[in-house]
Amino acid sequence: MSDTMMTPKVWDRALVTGASSGIGEAMARQLGAAGTDLVLVARTVTRLETLATEIAGRSGIEVEVLGADLADSDDLARVEERVAATGRPVDLLVNNAGFGFPGRFGEIPVDDEEGEILVNVVAVVRLAHAAARRMPTTGGGAILNVGSSAGFQPGPGGANYAATKAYVLSFSQALHEELRGRGVTCTVLCPGLTRTEFQQRGSWSSDKLPGLLWQEADAVARSGLDAAARGHAVEVTGLPNKVMATTARVSPLGMSRWFAAQFYDRMQ
């Protein structure tokens, strides 16, 4: 896995949620290689500690480990406190943690659906809120929310997941405008199919779609960090996803829903 990214260093300290694997891990590695101190957040503390030791040993940076389940209100409050802290402040917040389940609404346990909303939406809102209140008072910074190309249209067969990512897409763009002139930017990263543990965790099928639709976590992470460094509002990764996002905007709603349903059917 490549740890290289833009130089010189853009941020002093970044907090990355969902940092134990996938896009979050790739971002942590790339930020660490650039010399950015890190606060790594995930449920699996042992994996975070291993990653922290590796990155710190290689780059000589300071890496904090903060074990937390963002669906738990007490754990989320501890992460909020770290984002809000004025001592050793975080000037890049990466809201990367998220998950989703395929299947018809009503067939997936409602507690799982609620958990999706708590992690994909509530945690994003609360952590972004802490950052938006504190960053303007401590020199500015950036918020990078990881959305999805699924957020550009309804997702029959993954209704709740697509809806949470539509929220993140809309919310992030509004924050981008609201934070103008306050020294804080907000970027939403919208990847498509990415080879991570996301598919295994959510029991999504990954073998029914052509390889050209898939991206690697390293490339997606780099695109997101570069976009945040430039202060861009929206970053859609990969040509197929850019085409899909553009098509979804101009297609009749019924057609967009139908195509999305065919896609999700292949992911069951």
**Two tokens, residue 237:** 């990764």
Catalytic residue among 11, 152, 161, 171: 161
Report d(CA 20, CA 41) in Å as an integer. Answer: 8
Question: 264 catalytic, yes or no?
Answer: no
Hey, which residues are catalytic here? 161
